Amino acid sequence: MQNSEIKTTCSYCGVGCGIIVTNDSKNGVTVTGDKNHPVNKGMLCSKGMNLHYVVNDTSDRILYPEMRWSKSHPLERVNWDTALDRAAAVFSSIIKKHGPDSVGFYISGQCLTEEYYLVNKLVKGFLKTNNIDTNSRLCMSSAVAGYKKTFGEDSVPIAYDDIELADTFLITGANPAWCHPILFRRIEQHKEKNPKVKIIVIDPRRTDSAMAADLHLQIIPGTDIILYHALAKRLIEKGYTDNDFIKNHTENFKLYKDLVLSSSLEKASKLCGISVNDIKLAADIIGKAKGFLSLWAMGLNQSAIGVDKNTALLNLSLLTGQIGKPGSGPFSLTGQPNAMGGREVGGMANLLAVHKELNNPTHRKEVAEFWGVDDISEKPGLTATEMFDALESGKMKAIWIICTNPLVSLPDSRRVEKALSNAKFVVVQDISHNADTSKFADLLLPAAGWLEKEGTMTNSERRISYLPKGINAPGEALSDVEILTRFAKKMNFNGFNFNTTEDIYKEYCLMTKNTNIDISFLNYNRLKNEGTFQWPVPDYGHPGTPRLFTDKKFYTPSQKAIFNIPTAIENTSEQPNDTFPYILTTGRIRDQWHTMTKTGKVSRLMTHIPSPVLEINPIDAYKASINNGDIVVVTSKNGTVRVKAKVTETIREGVLFLPMHWGKQLENDLNRTNNLTNTLVDPISKEPDFKFTTVAVAKY
């Protein structure tokens, strides 16, 4: 380590807490919360405060490239040149024979911005396919589409500092007490100091977030839009709307008003499973708020109607004029540390960098010119689940997977197994042998992890931070940018003559000039010396932009925000039936991260919930003769899971919950939750419907 102490950012969730890392020869790396960091002010959650165990324990690390010459051969150690020569030869040959769309890259919201930018340039600009997508597709793509439809661009309007300025919080489809703990702690502290602050939580489970709320609306899964419309109806009828804002700064209000007024609170109450009184109470709290913040996460996004759910929620902020002013606005909670940075550099199959659109010929031309290539294919790239469909059907032949574990995290794991088995060539670039997907690798590339490379990330409030390299990666592991740059050179592509990671950052920054996410005046020096900045940072010495839309001018052609009318109000997922009578919803638990390749190594993080359990309501348990602690079998159309039952009143009758994290711990992967999940996706965002699968449950 060059310095005995360095400042960096947590590698887990999108909160983006500041961390101080020290390293000494006796104890290795240790971490503490950065007291001067604007996000966490010294606090860290259980995952963040145990990060050093993950770094210090290198027992699972991939230390050198491993390759097999054919599917029947075992992986064997090779050097980097051999590995990347083979990758280049196989990708070239497949592209020559089957065309550029026969290959794809699947990356991660944990990649640094420079890595995201580089791989998108490589794939869209030089491999000539748009088959590059990210696991952020499973996380934020519905929110991205919702922001674009409402504000004209993917732009989170608020700053975390709005938390301390708000007096009403609507937390919906999220459990920040467990999944974004430091933000939730800030909300709790604010309420402790200001008891009149109100928290409303909408969730089918009585989570820790719901327990801290003034009002918990224990909704039937999938009925969110009906509830938001009922809240809107009450707000309009009680005169809680901001008519000046609606008249001067929005479009489409009449259609929206007619729609929400056409239904009754009684009908909404029946469909959502929430009393009329509670709907009125929630609307009245929101209507009287001086500062209204809505916060949401996967409960809205991971749905077959996820985009509509997002826009229906955003409409509540427009209706009350609660946007662009202190303590107000809609705020999507990102699950991954750099999901936002990935969005900025166009890290999805349908996007280009700096919020340009792949389906816009002018945008494609501008980006192609910037990269010095003839063109960018107009054909939409395959999204996360579509790529694995294409591997299964044989349309796609090769996939390069970076920093993600789709075998456990994508819906319908058995289908993912088939897809990977069917692929001609699978590259897995990761830090850990524990990533279940690696067993399908024809080429396994050792990547540097957190603290072992430099780069930038953007958290959920548009805050960019610089992460320095603090220690060397073990073995022969290389940073992702180094691996990809070497591969690009093996492919004889121009445009990858970057000497440093900063050179990649500079190229991207140049691209942002005069856009709504302009950071052309934010260089590594400022980030290193002055700390973190919220984009845009459009001038020399600019302090960053905490809050967007303060001038009430939005990024739509009319500069007005748009009230969107949902195409589907009721859930389009398969409804419970005689064979599969329960709704299964899935999610995170407090101390685990994604597929546990990192947090699963830390014994103290395994004590909270050591193995997956199925949450089931006592009435449902009684009907199925299930007792607390019984082993149960959960089945869906797609597969089976065998876990312990936890009988609890915290979950709504008719609904079951399984954590998403576990993979191969049980024989035949029987505790992998995504064995069960359905393959529906939102028609616009293509985000999977993880929160609604119909299942049956029985005692084992």
Toward ligand SF4, which CB reaches closer, 17 or 407?
17
Toward ligand SF4, which CB reaches closer, 48 or 470?
48
Least distance CB 539 / ligand SF4 (angstroms): 29
Rg value, the chain, Cα: 24
Cα distance between residue 302 and residue 117, in whole Å: 25
Cα distance between residue 652 and residue 115, in whole Å: 42
Please name the residues in contact with 126: beta carbons below 8 A apart, sequence gap of 6 or more. Answer: 373, 488, 491, 493, 495
Residue showing the smallest CB distance to ligand SF4 in the complex: 48
Least distance CB 593 / ligand SF4 (angstroms): 7
Q: Are 209 and 171 in contact (CB under 8 A)?
A: yes
Least distance CB 22 / ligand SF4 (angstroms): 17
Least distance CB 84 / ligand SF4 (angstroms): 33
Strands 455-458 and 103-107: unpaired
Toward ligand SF4, which CB reaches closer, 44 or 62?
44
- For the purposes of burial, counting CB atoms within 10 Å of the CB of 18, is it exposed (0-12), middle (13-18) or buried (19 or more)? buried
**685 DSSP assignment:** T
Residue 585 φ/ψ, nearest 5 degrees? -120, 150
Task: Please state, in angstroms and as integers, the Cα–Cα distance from residue 100 to each residue in 347, 359, 384, 494, following that order.
Answer: 18, 18, 17, 18
Query: At 460, is the secondary structure helix, strand, or coil?
Result: coil
Least distance CB 612 / ligand SF4 (angstroms): 20
Q: Are 692 and 583 in contact (CB under 8 A)?
A: yes
The sheet carrying 5-9 orders its strands as 5-9, 18-24, 28-33
Least distance CB 16 / ligand SF4 (angstroms): 6
Rounded to a whole number of angstroms, the distance between the first and last alpha carbons of the chain is 52
Toward ligand SF4, which CB reaches closer, 17 or 323?
17
Toward ligand SF4, which CB reaches closer, 385 or 599?
599
Least distance CB 222 / ligand SF4 (angstroms): 28
Toward ligand SF4, which CB reaches closer, 5 or 570?
5
Least distance CB 57 / ligand SF4 (angstroms): 18
Residue 455 φ/ψ, nearest 5 degrees? 160, -170
Toward ligand SF4, which CB reaches closer, 184 or 256?
184
Beta bridge partners of 467: 455
Toward ligand SF4, which CB reaches closer, 183 or 348?
183
Least distance CB 698 / ligand SF4 (angstroms): 36
Toward ligand SF4, which CB reaches closer, 338 or 638?
338
**520 DSSP assignment:** T
Toward ligand SF4, which CB reaches closer, 276 or 606?
606
Least distance CB 672 / ligand SF4 (angstroms): 23
Toward ligand SF4, which CB reaches closer, 54 or 614?
54
Least distance CB 15 / ligand SF4 (angstroms): 4
Toward ligand SF4, which CB reaches closer, 461 or 682?
461
Tokens of residue 249, six digits: 């700064």
Beta bridge partners of 447: 478
Q: Are 342 and 113 in contact (CB under 8 A)?
A: yes
Binding residues (CB under 6 A) for ligand SF4: these are 10, 12-13, 15-17, 40, 44-45, 47-48, 180-182
Least distance CB 335 / ligand SF4 (angstroms): 10
Toward ligand SF4, which CB reaches closer, 364 or 463?
463
Q: Are 191 and 246 in contact (CB under 8 A)?
A: no
Q: How many CA atoms lie within 13 A of 523 on its CB side?
A: 7
Strands 693-699 and 631-635: antiparallel
- Return the closest-CA partner of residue 637 out of 318, 412, 361, 453: 412
Q: Express the helix, strand and coil content of the chain in percent, nearest 5 each.
A: 35, 20, 45
Q: Which residue is listed with tokens 């899935």?
A: 586
**123 DSSP assignment:** I
DSSP string, 327-357: T-EEEEPPSSTTHHHHHHTT-STTEETTTEE
Strands 18-24 and 28-33: antiparallel
Least distance CB 410 / ligand SF4 (angstroms): 22
Least distance CB 376 / ligand SF4 (angstroms): 34
Least distance CB 521 / ligand SF4 (angstroms): 27
Q: Is the dihedral of CA 617, 618, 623, 626 positive or negative?
A: positive
Q: Are 304 and 133 in contact (CB under 8 A)?
A: no
Toward ligand SF4, which CB reaches closer, 48 or 146?
48
Least distance CB 446 / ligand SF4 (angstroms): 24
Neighbours of 262 (CB within 10 A): 9
Residue 294 φ/ψ, nearest 5 degrees? -105, 140
Toward ligand SF4, which CB reaches closer, 45 or 473?
45
Least distance CB 41 / ligand SF4 (angstroms): 11
Q: Which residue is listed with tokens 């990102």?
A: 334
**124 DSSP assignment:** I
Query: At 269, is the secondary structure helix, strand, or coil?
Result: helix
Task: Please state, in angstroms and as integers, the Cα–Cα distance from residue 212 to each residue in 188, 215, 628, following that order.
Answer: 8, 9, 25
Toward ligand SF4, which CB reaches closer, 47 or 691?
47
Neighbours of 642 (CB within 10 A): 18
Toward ligand SF4, which CB reaches closer, 49 or 426?
49
